[in-house]
Amino acid sequence: MHQIEMTVNGQVMRAEVPAETTLLSVLREAWGLTGSKLGCDVGDCGACTVLVDGLSVNACLLLAVQVDGQEVLTIEGIGGFDYLHPIQAAFERLSSIQCGFCAPGIVISAKALIDKNPHPTEQEIREALAGNLCRCTGYTKIIEGIAEACRIPAGTDGSA
């Protein structure tokens, strides 16, 4: 067993885990952060995408011990019922998402892109989403939502 500690969504979290435990398992099972989804479990779908020290990663592929001491941001740390992140608000306005299973990973990937490049081109948005699969919506409305989120002033939720 290994003691791990990381800052998750601004809060220090600790757990004792076997060496083979993935970051996704710790987030969902030990800490109850179920926004990141278990999809393919092999890093192909992007449903488990989180930010680790600002980098977009598949939580199903990282061992929790590899993230010990680092900062993790999940979908729960981005927005909530009272405040939508501009990406979430744009997705809602444009009906960018249907079933929502892929949405947490896509929002996280979009946030990683916008944090580095606040005004991405459509091609840059497409490239940033290359690791995220959506089987319901298709990508047109998702790309439009991310582009619109880039036009919303920082510090607002973009609600109408």
Last residue of a domain, one of 42, 76, 110: 76
Q: Are 52 and 108 in the same domain? A: no
Total count of domains within the chain: 2
Do residues 64 and 128 both lie within one domain?
no
CA 132: distance to chain centroid? 10
In terms of residue numbers, what domain contains 34? 2-76
pLDDT per residue as tens digits for the range 88-132: 999 999 999 998 899 999 999 999 999 999 999 999 999 999 999
Q: Are residues 72 and 92 in the same domain?
A: no
114 lies in the same domain as 61: no
- Using left for φ > 0, alpha for ψ between -120 and 50, and beta otherwise, residue 130 falls in alpha
Q: Are residues 110 and 143 in the same domain?
A: yes
- pLDDT (tens digit per residue) in 2-16: 999 999 999 999 999
What's the pLDDT band for 152 if we cut at 50, 70, 90? low
Q: pTM to 2 decimals?
A: 0.91
**Does the pLDDT value for residue 144 go beyond 90?**
yes
CA 155 to chain centre: 19
Residue 64 resides in a domain: yes
Token pair listed for 102: 């892929």
Segment 58-87 mean pLDDT: 95
